[in-house]
Structure 1
Amino acid sequence: MGKHLSAWRSVVTRRVVILAFASTISGMTVFAQDELCAGNHFTPEEGAAMLRDNRPVDKKAWESRRQAVIAQIKAGMGLEKLPPKPSSQPIRHSKKTFEGYTVENVAFESLPGIYVTGNLYEPTGRRKGRPAILAPHGHGRNPDGRFMEQTQIRAAMLARAGAVVFTYDMIGHGDSQHSDHKIPKALKLQTINSIRALDFLLAQPGIDLSKVAVTGESGGGTQTFLLAALDDRVKVTAPVVMVSGFFFGGCVCESGMPIHKKGAYQTTNAEIAALTAPRPMLLVSDGKDWTRFTPESEFPYMQHIYQLYGKKEAVGNVHLPEEGHDFGPSKRKALYDFMGKYLGINLAMLKGKDGQVDESRVKVLAENELRVFDDAHPRPANYVSGDVQVNALLDKI
């Protein structure tokens, strides 16, 4: 991979200003800017050149590179060793039943005093061989996070089709009010939360462990491919409007820790997403954000990686050139078809009499109906609160 590294050095050395270091100010870890790759860290031309010119020559070369990328993700997050899972029981309440599915409000500890909060959607009637889908959300706040219509609809529709789906809050969103969203180690905490969310989801009755998927949009897309890179329990992924060879995520929860760069080492989100291979993956892209070049840049790169395993057909791309940055109806339809193919969900449950997808058959609920913590269900006594307190807890891991 010498050529691979030297080409990246030629770009990134222009951006290095100071030596890499991390310091602590008032209990808050701050990472050196030259180790971080935020937002449009490269130009589209630079990103495309890296992917085009530095493809691994064979499976052996890729497997070596793959292990190096995974190792730096863990080191950059400070997650070489996952902290112990708390033994407390999940909080579950306010289960509601609709046509073909149920919704329940859920919380459980990912770290002592840190609670993952979300909603569990389950199909009615089906108790065995159930696919599982983890559904992180992006940064939208209209309404907040998992309460958004686009999040509720996809979760409910997938549950109607037979999957068990868990939607959960980013930190600082929804019921997850331990700290501000943009604490320095947000990426570390969200990754721990995602792993523990997967633990919870797979512990539900009747889950088929060969049919486990993750799908999210934007920042939720980042969580999708990072979780798949670190956890082989994930069998199918669909990162929506996120995977890019030049854009690294514009929030500290995506690029605020040194997972992309360390000294001469450099990777991109496209290469991290490729770590999913040869497990099935759908890239959903559009014409109005950083995924606008996917058909001619990121997708051919993914196909090359998948072909090293003889699985080129397992990666797909649905590109919507006239659309923008969301998880709208056409993107959801692409997701349903993909999950039907690889998880065996019942697509007939999603269609009306005309044979077309009919999302009016699911109900969008008000925020107060989906919240885990309220006057009747207060936060647990050990609930950790405050940026300094949360960061101090993360510093100990």
Structure 2
Amino acid sequence: MVFFSIRSLRFTLLLLNFFLVSNVLNAQIPVESVFHVNRGKTNEWISHKSNDDALQRIINNAAFQYLEKRQGTIDGLKTKSDWLSYRDSIKNILISPLSKFEKTPLNPQITGTIEREAFRVEKIIFESHPGFYVTASLFLPNKRQDPAPAIIFTSGHTSLGFRSKGYQHVILNLVSKGFIVMAFDPIGQGERLQYLDSKTGNSLIGGPTLEHSYAGAQALLWGVSLSDYFIWDGIRVVDYLYTRPEVDVSRIGITGRSGGGTQTAMIAACDERIYAAAPEAFITNYKRLLQSVGVQDAEQNLYNGISKGIDHPDFLHVRMPKPSLIITTINDFFSIQGARETFDEVKKSYVALGKGDNVEMVEDMGKHESTKLNRMAMYGFFQKHLSLPGDSNDIEIEPFPVEDLWSTQTGQLSSSLKCKTVFNLNREYASKKGTSEFFLPEYSAELAGIKLDRKLSSAVFTGKIVKDGMEVEKYFLENTKGDYALPVYVATKADSKADKVLLWLHPKGKEIILESTFVNELMDKGYTVVSADLPGMGELSNPDFSGDGIVEQVPLNYLFGANLVGKSITGIQAESIDLIVEFIHKDTRNKKRKLHAMIENSASFSFLHYIALKNPFDRSVVINQYLSGPEGITKEYYNPEEAFFSVPGSLPYYKLLNLVELHPKHRLKIIKTPLSEGGVKESLNFFAK
């Protein structure tokens, strides 16, 4: 990526993160796997062939528990009063994150106009936050009602925003039928790139989903969902329409496909001034989404959304009885089964309010795409509910060249105006959060979603590796929740009289024992060395993962999924460390042995969170480059690995250094020296004190 050229060599080296390494290591020589079976070509335990999906399974299981609880609530809603009460509670959850924003002056500018025979286009810039600009176009039919209904058009994931031919086709068809249409660029698309390369005019991060995921991952750490900014932009679009005398504000609709469907559903749920909504190619439900393609890029994920009881039907329940149309295609990657289940559920709330006909669903053959049948259904829906009868046929209309619809001179706000980005807004809004003078470790556990209730049910011994006078016992640890098995190595010398145990956690996972030139030195000092693959590492990482939020080889989709269920990757891994400690303590060979820990780099996030709650280690050394200076995660261009392991919502309240300060210096030492440059000696000297 061009992105790398603007960062230091040290920063680039950080990108050799555990996922890049562990995905290679996952294709191990079979005998090194703890799941290896010495039987011909059968190399894995049948029950653990999908163990590399451990991280996803943990997230999914947590989600399914919340969704089952939610379903129980839904099943208990019978009367109109029940549903109205539920609607109000859901709306409060959806709009409360927006309370941090203020409606400040829009300061709209019309930067140009285009005249066509049947309509006029005004090119517009306005401020949804002070100094944070939105680019848009207002399409005004020459022959229209006075005042006329207006439709907000939200764009899916294209770098062109609403200027792509497919989106222009829909916009111009709506205009031809007499609707005023306001189309605007989402954050990270069109003229609103957040990470602009001024030399190329392109994003330094990548396409729209990567722009969203990079900005969104950092926003989460401040306790903000990128969706908050997307929704607020849409609300301010409605505010702008209210300033236009041509618009009948009692007849406002909204539609968009894919990412535009996401925005349509969320904006319409949060702004009751929108009368009719038609989200396309987004609505499913979380159960089917998690069972199929998994969590998508950042702007689709509310902060702790599933743990707060939110599912896709709620974006429509909260609108009842206003008209809503779910637009789907049968072979979309957004599960059609989930869409059908959502429609069936939402129908119940509308029927309870006596407006069953106000919620509709249309589906057509197709993948993740627009079809003529679906477009015509959408036109007809708005013609009916926004009181503008007419022909709902889909016709061909010549689109504009992309540059003609630019609201700025350069085609990018960042190079045309002095403007803020989401990064700037994060810092502004997060600084308004109150922080406690006294840090409580229990609060870090709550934010990280750590629950030390996963107990060791069995340590399964699967064989031994002998190498250079070292014996490595292989185990996998089963736990009471039964969702994954934790791979562990225990290394000793054949003639060892070990009197200490060292837990060595490294981003590479347990393979460090077989690779390191230092392990014999550690054993010579009387250590039995234990290492493991935490969820997301080694044999618990999925080399085939292909989410749409992978930035610099870091699969941020997992972070977004963990956030949805009120957890974190760090919290999930901290829970697995507790299993390892239980395993060490249950081994009779370790009775009365001192327990030390040597933790490297990204593995230290989970370790520091774990020992903040429960510290069984006599002494611990943490080799952590993230503690060597100002926290890089608060910079505009940050290391996505650091975001991956940081806890959503934690930045306003505590830092890793706060976790360090919980422990006396004789029990925990932070060193900057890599093991290969003297860190082993420094660690052993500390352990020997």
Question: Which of 243, 258, 274 is the equivalent residue of 1:234?
Answer: 274
Q: CA contact under 8 A between 2:329 and 2:369: conserved in structure 1?
A: no
Question: Which of 405, 415, 430 is the equivalent residue of 1:370?
Answer: 405
1:148 aligned partner? 164
Structure 1 residues 53 and 135: CA distance shift in structure 2, 3 A:
same
- Structure 1 residue 251 corresponds to structure 2 residue 269: no
| SS at 2:303 equivalent | coil
1:148 and 1:332 map into 2 onto residues whose CA distance is: 16
2:346 aligned partner? 302
Question: Which of 380, 387, 404 is the equivalent residue of 1:337?
Answer: 380
1:64 aligned partner? 85
Shift of 1:277: 0.9
Shift of 1:272: 2.3
Percent of residue pairs bearing the same amino acid type: 23
Aligned-partner residue type, residue 363 of structure 1: E
2:171 and 2:81 map into 1 onto residues whose CA distance is: 38
- Structure 1 residue 167 corresponds to structure 2 residue 183: yes
1:244 and 1:55 map into 2 onto residues whose CA distance is: 22
2:269 and 2:317 map into 1 onto residues whose CA distance is: 8
| SS at 2:153 equivalent | strand
RMSD over aligned CA atoms reads 3.0
Q: Which moved more, 1:149-158 or 1:245-254?
A: 245-254
- Structure 1 residue 86 corresponds to structure 2 residue 121: no
Structure 1 residues 52 and 64: CA distance shift in structure 2, 3 A:
closer
1:377 and 1:255 map into 2 onto residues whose CA distance is: 26
Shift of 1:396: 4.8
Q: CA contact under 8 A between 1:39 and 1:250: conserved in structure 2?
A: no
Aligned length: 342
Q: TM-score, normalised by structure 1?
A: 0.77
Shift of 1:52: 10
Equivalent runs, 1:5-84 vs 2, <5 Å: 50=71, 54=75, 56-75=77-96, 77=97, 79-80=98-99, 82-84=101-103
Shift of 1:127: 5.7
1:217 and 1:208 map into 2 onto residues whose CA distance is: 24
1:177 aligned partner? 193
Where does structure 1 lack aligned partners over 5 or more consecutive residues?
1-33, 351-356
Structure 1 residues 244 and 95: CA distance shift in structure 2, 3 A:
same
2:327 and 2:337 map into 1 onto residues whose CA distance is: 12
Q: CA contact under 8 A between 2:106 and 2:240: conserved in structure 1?
A: no
| SS at 2:105 equivalent | coil
Shift of 1:284: 0.9
Instruction: Compare relative contact order (CA 8 Å, sep 6+) and give the higher one, 1 or 2.
Output: 1
Q: CA contact under 8 A between 1:116 and 1:193: conserved in structure 2?
A: yes
1:188 and 1:363 map into 2 onto residues whose CA distance is: 35
2:239 and 2:249 map into 1 onto residues whose CA distance is: 11
2:312 aligned partner? 269
Larger helix percent: 2
Structure 1 residues 295 and 189: CA distance shift in structure 2, 3 A:
closer
Shift of 1:381: 4.7
1:40 and 1:285 map into 2 onto residues whose CA distance is: 27
Structure 1 residues 296 and 118: CA distance shift in structure 2, 3 A:
closer
- Structure 1 residue 208 corresponds to structure 2 residue 208: no
Aligned-partner residue type, residue 165 of structure 1: V
2:238 and 2:178 map into 1 onto residues whose CA distance is: 18
- Structure 1 residue 197 corresponds to structure 2 residue 237: yes
Shift of 1:256: 4.9
- Structure 1 residue 225 corresponds to structure 2 residue 265: yes
| SS at 1:324 equivalent | coil
- Structure 1 residue 279 corresponds to structure 2 residue 322: yes
Q: CA contact under 8 A between 2:313 and 2:343: conserved in structure 1?
A: no
Shift of 1:54: 2.5
Q: Deviations over 1:268-295 (max 9, x none)?
A: 0112222111001111111113241257
Structure 1 residues 222 and 38: CA distance shift in structure 2, 3 A:
farther
Shift of 1:391: 2.1
| SS at 1:319 equivalent | strand
Where does structure 2 lack aligned partners over 5 or more consecutive residues?
1-54, 196-210, 220-224, 433-689
- Structure 1 residue 129 corresponds to structure 2 residue 141: no
Structure 1 residues 391 and 296: CA distance shift in structure 2, 3 A:
closer
Aligned-partner residue type, residue 323 of structure 1: G
Q: CA contact under 8 A between 1:295 and 1:319: conserved in structure 2?
A: no
1:40 and 1:243 map into 2 onto residues whose CA distance is: 21
| SS at 2:178 equivalent | coil
2:403 and 2:389 map into 1 onto residues whose CA distance is: 30
Q: Which moved more, 1:274-283 or 1:247-256?
A: 247-256
| SS at 1:212 equivalent | strand
Question: Which of 359, 368, 387 is the equivalent residue of 2:395?
Answer: 359
Structure 1 residues 87 and 371: CA distance shift in structure 2, 3 A:
closer
- Structure 1 residue 317 corresponds to structure 2 residue 361: yes
Q: CA contact under 8 A between 1:74 and 1:259: conserved in structure 2?
A: no
Q: Which moved more, 1:208-217 or 1:173-182?
A: 173-182
2:419 aligned partner? 383
Shift of 1:195: 0.5
Aligned-partner residue type, residue 175 of structure 2: A
Aligned-partner residue type, residue 239 of structure 2: D
- Structure 1 residue 100 corresponds to structure 2 residue 118: yes
Shift of 1:375: 4.4
Shift of 1:376: 9.8
Q: CA contact under 8 A between 1:178 and 1:383: conserved in structure 2?
A: no
1:54 and 1:377 map into 2 onto residues whose CA distance is: 49
Q: CA contact under 8 A between 1:136 and 1:167: conserved in structure 2?
A: yes
Q: CA contact under 8 A between 1:225 and 1:276: conserved in structure 2?
A: no
Structure 1 residues 199 and 258: CA distance shift in structure 2, 3 A:
same
Q: TM-score, normalised by structure 2?
A: 0.46
2:348 and 2:299 map into 1 onto residues whose CA distance is: 29
- Structure 1 residue 393 corresponds to structure 2 residue 428: yes
Aligned-partner residue type, residue 383 of structure 1: C
Shift of 1:382: 4.0
1:39 and 1:167 map into 2 onto residues whose CA distance is: 36
